[in-house]
């Protein structure tokens, strides 16, 4: 559980994602949770969680209609924490390609979301990840811990280069299903997971606690 006063977290409701599951999971670990797309409320929360389920292009359309692109951009410009889950992580990259259709993402990180190359797609079920040793997101979690994934698309290459020694390099976590793909990222105030912590039981609760404790 998080310590100190309850942190105010907004689950951004733009019509896509496991809104209520995320709300319950965050409340379970002690956050004060509000589900809304109200601009001011989302801007002023201690943390903003952006869920996402479905097609990349549809999620981007819904996010823009709710001004979520502005909310994410403004919060990050001010160093205010944002966390993306599943397609809510994917749309943080430059673009997504599904069924030959290309859509622009939020471009917080360079990279392309494309189809997973595996014998069985979608990647649905429990899987382990390869997290950096100094990860704050996965603190207290064993290397053999499993998390719940449901996706057919992923980012297979991490393209962001940080040659400036004064800029802390992002921490990138990987998983394997047919091929290696990005499973999570920690980049200053912007964190994200391809898997669903809200569906990952006690492990997911620990991960969300780790995020809340940084707010």
Active site residues: 86, 196, 198
Q: Which residue in this structure is represented by tokens 């400036």?
A: 164
Kindly list the distances between the CA atom of residue 175 and the CA atoms of 90, 123, 157, 185, in Å, as whole numbers in the listed order.
15, 11, 12, 12
Prior bond of 113 cis (ω within 30°): no
Q: Which of 157, 208, 203 minimizes the C-alpha distance to 28?
A: 208
Distance CA(203)–CA(183), nearest Å, equals 15
Count CB atoms within 10 A of the CB of residue 91. Answer: 30
Q: How far apart are CA 92 and CA 187, in angstroms?
A: 12
3-class DSSP assignment, residue 15: coil
């Amino acid at each position: 559980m998080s310590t100190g006063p309850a942190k105010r977290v907004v689950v951004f409701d733009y019509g896509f994602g496991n809104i209520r599951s995320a709300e319950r999971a965050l409340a379970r670990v002690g956050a004060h949770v509000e589900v809304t797309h109200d601009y001011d409320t989302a801007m002023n929360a201690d943390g903003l969680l952006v869920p996402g389920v479905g097609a990349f292009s549809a999620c981007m359309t819904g996010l823009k209609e709710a001004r979520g692109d502005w909310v994410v951009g403004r919060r990050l410009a001010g160093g205010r924490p944002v966390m993306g889950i599943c397609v809510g992580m994917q749309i943080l990259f430059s673009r997504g390609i599904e069924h030959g259709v290309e859509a622009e993402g939020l471009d917080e990180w360079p990279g392309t979301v494309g189809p997973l190359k595996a014998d069985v797609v979608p990647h649905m079920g429990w899987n382990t990840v390869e997290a950096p040793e100094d990860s704050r997101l996965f603190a207290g979690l064993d290397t053999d811990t499993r998390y719940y994934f449901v996706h057919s698309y992923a980012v297979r290459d991490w393209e962001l280069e940080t040659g400036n020694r004064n800029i802390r390099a992002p921490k990138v976590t990987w998983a394997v299903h047919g091929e290696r793909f990005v499973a999570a990222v920690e980049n200053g105030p912007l964190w994200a997971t391809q898997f669903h912590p809200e569906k990952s039981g006690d492990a997911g609760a620990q991960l969300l606690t780790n995020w809340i404790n940084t707010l």
